[in-house]
Structure 1
Amino acid sequence: MSFLFWAFLGGTAAVAFPFLFHLIRRTPKGRQDFSATMFLRPSPPRLTRRSRLDHLLLLVLRAAAIVLIAMAFMRPFWRAADEMLAEPPGRRVALLVDTSASMKRGDLWRQAMANAEKAIGELEATDDVALFAFDDRLRPIVPFDRRASVERNEKRTIVREKLKELSPSWAHTDLGGALVGATDALAAVADDSPKDAPATSQIVVISDMQEGAKLDALGAFEWPAQVQVDVRPVIAARSSNARVALLDDDAAALVPGEPRVRVHNAADSATEQFRVAWAKATTGERELDARAAPFYVPPGQSRVLPLPRGKDLADADRLVLLGDDEPFDNAYYVAPRVQREIRAVGIGRDAEDDAQGLRYYLARALSETPRRKVTFDWREPGGELATLATERPHLVCVTDAVSAAEGEAIARYVESGGAALVVLRDAETANSLAALIGAKEAKEHENPRGTREYAMLGQIDFSHPLFAPFAAARYSDFTRIRFWRRRSVTLGDESQARVAARFDDGSPAIWQRSLGKGTAHVFASGWHPRDSQWALSTKFLPMLSGAVDRAGPRTAVDAALTVRESIPLPAASRVTAANERAAERIVQKPDAARIVVPASATTFDATDEPGVYRYSSAEDSWSFAVNLAPRESDTAPIEPAKLESFGVKLGRHLSQSEQAQRDRQLRDTELESRQKIWKWLIVGALCVLGMETLLAGWRSRAPAAPLGEPA
């Protein structure tokens, strides 16, 4: 026989009470003298120290009633051997460890390792475990074992060893993608595993659960009902954190030479006073402290202030934030600015000081700046152009008609990777460069100046690099630019050309044509006063500068790159046995490691740490900066319950021993409910109490013994 509630066994201790009551004897408590007994000799009752049990039958009945009632509360049942349950299956446990940049704070990584070790220690012999590391992507470290029987203890040892090899990276946190990936891994191993393999699926997440973690992947994912997530957060001792970022560089600043800097303070931060300074790798702490400008930023807010570099820090490559508790995100890197020298060849007959010519406005639009210096070598048509492909200038600007041989030389230059800027002064210029610009036919259109007959730009592709700076509504109005003379060009194959703008009659106004490795930008009308008002427009200078800047060598990449973001690379030179060394492309990382980029690579992907990278090849050399993802600095913790809003089931599956114990309790409860032995024990207790009552009543009515006779 078994019992559901063994705690009620203590109720049988009440059996002691009948024994105590039966041992109690009533002895005289007081003494009363009577006058009638004064002549008698006193004879007090004899009392003995030893007691004996009286009325044994009543005692037995009363003790039996107490024992039966206590056993009834213990809910007894009979367990048969054929009713034993099968052993429950084990678990598949996916252990997800956060290795994002925010885990570099304080002692979070030590806490994560301790939590992971505890989770491994809670595993049982039948559990299968897999180790995953996640930041912006999920990486399987120790996968699930698809075999039914495997030495689990040996695998747990492997997991512990691999766990020691992990360390936080500089990437951001994609918690949603990690959960979806772990769920897919659990589903895949469940489909391929035999029937006797572990059945229940459990995900254990060890993370700082920061507010900046991405959860987008969970939005379109239907969470499986059988997978539960056990979140074990790690908590930072200090909650203050802030980040710094550069909003615009010197050239794009609202006030020239005063770039704007933004400082954002975390919502749970306890600090409001910060300082920011420009610095280089060699800047010392004292110098940094002396140059720092104060920023007051309340928790959860941002502040933007101008911060000049200073002449002695014109080549500074980072902004440094001071006064923050967590240093992992206190530097914002910027590619150092170096003046680019662009070598250009101009082909045209205009005089340098001719205010009615194309060259006059081109020279003034491309004047020297701190970031760019354009050097033109002007040549008249009929000159020596055959060596363009070997001279390899950065840009060739054509403003007049050329001969067929010169047109072929310019085309060969573009095919070899050069850049051309072609302005169609007249239809003859278009026809002489037909192969380069892709023209099938060109006609001249002319309207008298000062009349209402003129052309305008009708269709503009603001996604084209030339017009992208004007995409905002306040800059996108081109209706004030009038064209009196233009060339109506019919393109032979428009699929090989990208038209950036068309005139209001639909003919191409500005287009880009790729030829071999190079590109040619073509203008169907000139910018000089005879043709249009283009040179008088505020949009002329930024558009022309953009076209020339894209042709020149790169010294720095303006794009705000983040860790593990790819950067496009220029095409490599054709590798031969003679120039194999010269065609080599190298990227130097912030830690001074040098990576040789394969000739077939079009992007560089090893941006795995913040800092300034340096690209160098035989053709050019330039820098680019990589920074921490901004959202990684949002370190305020979120409640794990937020995952439930995406359908994630939080909880913990029972282990095999816990599930077996639970199944045993459920089975015992079912058996007891079906047998109901407690009812018969209650009936027996009532019967015993009835017998005890009758016996006690009968003894109380028994006649007393006659006087002088023993009772």
Structure 2
Amino acid sequence: MSVLFPLFFAAAAAVIAPILLHLLRQRARNVQPFSSLMFLRPSPPRMQPKTRVENLPLLLLRCLALILLAIAFARPLWQGVDLITTEQKGRTLVLLDVSASMSRSGLWDQALAHLDQAVSDPEQRVAIVAFDRTLRPLLGFEDWVGQPPSARAELARTRVRSITPGSAGSDIGLALAGAADLISDDETAVAEAQGIKRIVLISDLQGGRGLDALRSATWPQGLGLSIRQVTSAQPTNAGLSLVTVEAGLMAEADDKRQRVRVSNDAVSKTQAFTVAWSDGVGSAENVSVPPGSTRVVRAPTRPAGKPGSAVILRGDDHAFDNTLYLTDAAPVEVPVLYLGNDAVDDPTGLSYFLKHALQPTRMLAPRLSINGLANQAEALNRFSWVVVGGAPSAAMAEQLTAHVTGGGAITVVLRQASDAAWLEKLTGHVLRAEEARVKGFALIGRVDFAHPLLRPFEVARFGDFTKIHVWHHRTLTPPPTAQVLAWYDDGQPAWFELPVGTGRVLVMTSGWHPADSQLALSTKFVPLIYTELQRSGRITPRPTQVIIGDAASMPAGAQTISGPLASADAPTSASITAQSIAQQGLYRVQTAGGVLVVAANVDPLESQTAPLALETLEALGVSITDADAATAAAAAALARTSERTLKVAELEARQKSWLWILAAAFVVLISETMVAGLFSRPKADKTASSNAEGAEGAEGAEGAEGAESAATGAAS
């Protein structure tokens, strides 16, 4: 048992009062002076202190009442095992950064020193989580409390010694949001509020990825963040990354030298670097990059027949992001079908220009098949794009209808007005076409650049179609469901698109061959062809670069990965999953489309080692507490004391023992009153009897004295 207010026990000292009152000397009370005795010498009775307590039950009742009142005001409570075992010293979740930037010189040793301080108090409830782009629990709350207090800190150190910084990027926002959820889950599981809650973040605060994940989360009330920042004595950091060409589908196939980006951190002290092949073969490229800037250069040239696997950056203080693995993209084969009667070598036909436009690139390898309009074509569903340059046979028209209804993409070129008849069967709409009366030539006067086919031309210097002369075209009214993409200068539609089933049909009212227009000879033709080819939806460029720690960047359908490889021809190692890539290198990826060789590299954002501003965290509602371990320990001790006081008060309020003790005190006081009445009644009767006898004696004496006086007077 314990008490909430122990000072009230001092009131129990009042129990001495009844005892002293019972032992006081008996003194005469109500002394009545008599005039007849004024000349006599007073002789009061000798008073002796009592050595024996009279009315012992009455004394005990009075003492018990005082003791019960003192106990009631002290607010006693009975704290059993439940309070002792559930009382904790607070929660601490340690977030340990193991991203690539933490491999810089000296940072990991600093991180381990901060970890030792964070786990030095065995009485708190501790968990340790490592993070980069994901969270990896190293020590759970239950693992910590399941160990003897003397072994807890050593257990934490043992778990952390098993890891080192990897090659993945970091996401501090994601880590903080996940850590807050882990603490909330532990609170729910244990069910009691247990001291202060805090997250200890041990990191270089590399801010390349920002705090986007934390912006969508709500920071828990009462959760503090203690930051233990590690810093490098060497500020210069530059990194290498691959430049992704925006027009990748049209990149020249003979452009073998890939572009690499050199980025220099804003706090760097060096700006002169060298880009070279890791094996030392070939030339080197010198590049000057001012702090806070980037430069794009081509990979150094190599001798013919000697492909390289990685380029390196020299002149940097930190090597974690100075190696970039490269692999040539394997172009994706794209089957295209042309249905028409013109010969492929006829320079006046549609197929002639289509074939020359569909040249292989670094990303795509178009394979053009030509089939007559009257012949039965092979299965159309294997073609990404079908171009029809005339009126097909009935059997072929049925095949085309089934293909487009099932989600295929077809481009129909109206070479003459009569071709609209079979187009009605294909689309299910009434289409009446006529030859337009063109005086000289027509122009494409208006273009809808919002349409995906024409969006690449929305820049003003690329969007001028008025230089394309159209000699012949057909006029027709598109159905209401059609979307017109371009109009001639007379207002007639030039190109429009119709949805059919789950597929679509693009209708061109004029051909691109020289007899109809100059489209095939213009700079707009090849981009139009490749954009429509890309819009078919059946082209999946094979990725050659993946970011370590980013599972979303893996090729679609990837099942197992073998590597890393020193080169693309090296023997494979044991298979691993796509998500377990933890180091840079070349990997063989098993996909549904075959085996690919991809390069795994460090996230380019990891090269931005400038630390996050703490004001950014505070603006998101994060409560940043102390940054000193000693201050943290003092604050934790104060919080634990306050927490225990609140818990004891809460337990006492539930038990309400004082109420029962106070009721018992009232019962004792009532009993004392009754006992006091029993002891005082006989004494009162005795006193009354004595008083009566005294009165009678006094009257007799007065009568005798009067008689004596009368007798004396008579004798005289």
For the aligned pair, the TM-score class normalised by the smaller chain equals: 0.5 to 0.7
Which residue of 292, 300, 314 maps to 2:284?
Answer: 292
Q: Measure the CA separation in 2 of the matches of 1:93 and 1:351.
A: 77
Letter of the 1:302 counterpart: T
Counterpart of 1:183?
Answer: 180
Q: Measure the CA separation in 1 of the matches of 2:580 and 2:424.
A: 43
Q: Who wins on radius of gyration, i.e. which is larger?
A: 2
Counterpart of 1:322?
Answer: 314
Which residue of 206, 222, 232 maps to 2:202?
Answer: 206
* Two-structure CA RMSD over aligned residues (Å): 4.7
Whether 2:175 is the aligned partner of 1:170: answer no
Shift of 1:654: 4.6
Contact 1:460–1:500 under 8 Å retained in 2: no
More helix by share: 2
Secondary structure of 1:349 counterpart:
coil
1:608-647 map, 5 Å: 610-615=584-589, 619=593, 622=596, 624-638=598-612, 640=614, 643-647=617-621
Letter of the 2:397 counterpart: G
The change in CA–CA distance for 1:647 and 1:373 in structure 2 (over 3 A counts) is closer
Which residue of 209, 223, 226 maps to 2:222?
Answer: 226
Shift of 1:337: 3.9
Q: Deviations over 1:120-163 (max 9, x none)?
A: 12x232x222222222344444444599x966747766644543
Counterpart of 2:373?
Answer: 381
Q: Measure the CA separation in 2 of the matches of 1:563 and 1:514.
A: 42
Secondary structure of 2:205 counterpart:
coil
The change in CA–CA distance for 1:589 and 1:511 in structure 2 (over 3 A counts) is farther
Counterpart of 2:393?
Answer: 403
| Aligned-pair identity (%) | 30
Shift of 1:358: 1.4
Shift of 1:205: 0.5
Q: Measure the CA separation in 2 of the matches of 1:101 and 1:291.
A: 29
The change in CA–CA distance for 1:655 and 1:239 in structure 2 (over 3 A counts) is same
Counterpart of 1:104?
Answer: 103
Whether 2:637 is the aligned partner of 1:658: answer yes
Whether 2:473 is the aligned partner of 1:485: answer yes
Counterpart of 1:132?
Answer: 129
Secondary structure of 1:659 counterpart:
helix
Letter of the 1:444 counterpart: A
Letter of the 1:173 counterpart: S
Whether 2:457 is the aligned partner of 1:470: answer yes
Shift of 1:275: 0.9
Counterpart of 1:117?
Answer: 116
Secondary structure of 1:176 counterpart:
helix
Q: Deviations over 1:360-383 (max 9, x none)?
A: 321232346677655544322122
Q: Deviations over 1:575-594 (max 9, x none)?
A: xxxxxxxxx97655545567
Secondary structure of 1:304 counterpart:
strand
Secondary structure of 1:136 counterpart:
coil
Whether 2:552 is the aligned partner of 1:566: answer yes
Q: Measure the CA separation in 2 of the matches of 1:485 and 1:500.
A: 15
Contact 1:461–1:500 under 8 Å retained in 2: no
Q: Measure the CA separation in 1 of the matches of 2:585 and 2:169.
A: 16
Counterpart of 2:543?
Answer: 557
Secondary structure of 2:92 counterpart:
strand
Q: Measure the CA separation in 1 of the matches of 2:510 and 2:545.
A: 32
Q: Measure the CA separation in 2 of the matches of 1:329 and 1:452.
A: 59
Q: Measure the CA separation in 1 of the matches of 2:549 and 2:484.
A: 33
Contact 1:644–1:650 under 8 Å retained in 2: yes
Which residue of 530, 536, 541 maps to 1:545?
Answer: 530
Letter of the 2:524 counterpart: K
How many residues in Structure 1 have an aligned counterpart in Structure 2?
546
Contact 1:467–1:543 under 8 Å retained in 2: yes
Q: Deviations over 1:314-354 (max 9, x none)?
A: 85454321232322211234440446665544321123454
Shift of 1:237: 4.3
The change in CA–CA distance for 1:295 and 1:544 in structure 2 (over 3 A counts) is same
The change in CA–CA distance for 1:200 and 1:152 in structure 2 (over 3 A counts) is farther
The change in CA–CA distance for 1:140 and 1:657 in structure 2 (over 3 A counts) is closer
Q: Measure the CA separation in 2 of the matches of 1:613 and 1:418.
A: 34
Q: Measure the CA separation in 1 of the matches of 2:76 and 2:215.
A: 44
Q: Measure the CA separation in 2 of the matches of 1:99 and 1:106.
A: 14
Q: Measure the CA separation in 2 of the matches of 1:596 and 1:550.
A: 34
The change in CA–CA distance for 1:246 and 1:346 in structure 2 (over 3 A counts) is same
Which residue of 595, 616, 622 maps to 1:648?
Answer: 622
Which residue of 452, 460, 463 maps to 2:449?
Answer: 460
Q: Measure the CA separation in 2 of the matches of 1:189 and 1:311.
A: 61
Shift of 1:96: 0.6
The change in CA–CA distance for 1:620 and 1:527 in structure 2 (over 3 A counts) is farther
Letter of the 2:323 counterpart: A
Q: Measure the CA separation in 1 of the matches of 2:139 and 2:500.
A: 48
1:477-556 map, 5 Å: 477-478=464-465, 480-481=467-468, 485-486=473-474, 488=476, 490=478, 501-503=485-487, 509-511=495-497, 523=508, 525-548=510-533, 556=542
The change in CA–CA distance for 1:230 and 1:304 in structure 2 (over 3 A counts) is same
Whether 2:296 is the aligned partner of 1:304: answer yes
Please, what TM-score do these two structures have when normalized by structure 2? 0.63
Contact 2:133–2:549 under 8 Å retained in 1: no
Q: Measure the CA separation in 1 of the matches of 2:143 and 2:404.
A: 57
Contact 1:431–1:442 under 8 Å retained in 2: yes
Name structure 1 gaps, 5 residues minimum: 1-80, 573-583, 598-603, 667-711
Contact 2:436–2:474 under 8 Å retained in 1: no
Secondary structure of 2:176 counterpart:
helix
Contact 1:345–1:376 under 8 Å retained in 2: yes
Letter of the 2:485 counterpart: A
Name structure 2 gaps, 5 residues minimum: 1-72, 566-571, 627-631, 646-716
Q: Measure the CA separation in 2 of the matches of 1:396 and 1:562.
A: 39
Secondary structure of 1:460 counterpart:
coil
Letter of the 2:206 counterpart: Q
Counterpart of 1:266?
Answer: 265
The change in CA–CA distance for 1:363 and 1:473 in structure 2 (over 3 A counts) is same
**Stretch moving more, 304-313 or 101-110:** 304-313
Q: Measure the CA separation in 2 of the matches of 1:314 and 1:341.
A: 25
The change in CA–CA distance for 1:262 and 1:369 in structure 2 (over 3 A counts) is closer
Letter of the 1:432 counterpart: W
Letter of the 1:106 counterpart: S
Secondary structure of 2:543 counterpart:
coil
Letter of the 2:170 counterpart: T
Counterpart of 2:211?
Answer: 215
Q: Measure the CA separation in 1 of the matches of 2:412 and 2:574.
A: 40
Letter of the 1:124 counterpart: P
Please, what TM-score do these two structures have when normalized by structure 1? 0.63
Counterpart of 1:441?
Answer: 430
Q: Deviations over 1:38-75 (max 9, x none)?
A: xxxxxxxxxxxxxxxxxxxxxxxxxxxxxxxxxxxxxx
Q: Deviations over 1:515-570 (max 9, x none)?
A: 77x88765454222444442233121122134446778767438886741524866
Whether 2:328 is the aligned partner of 1:336: answer yes
Q: Measure the CA separation in 1 of the matches of 2:159 and 2:143.
A: 19
Secondary structure of 2:117 counterpart:
helix
Shift of 1:429: 4.3
The change in CA–CA distance for 1:303 and 1:661 in structure 2 (over 3 A counts) is closer
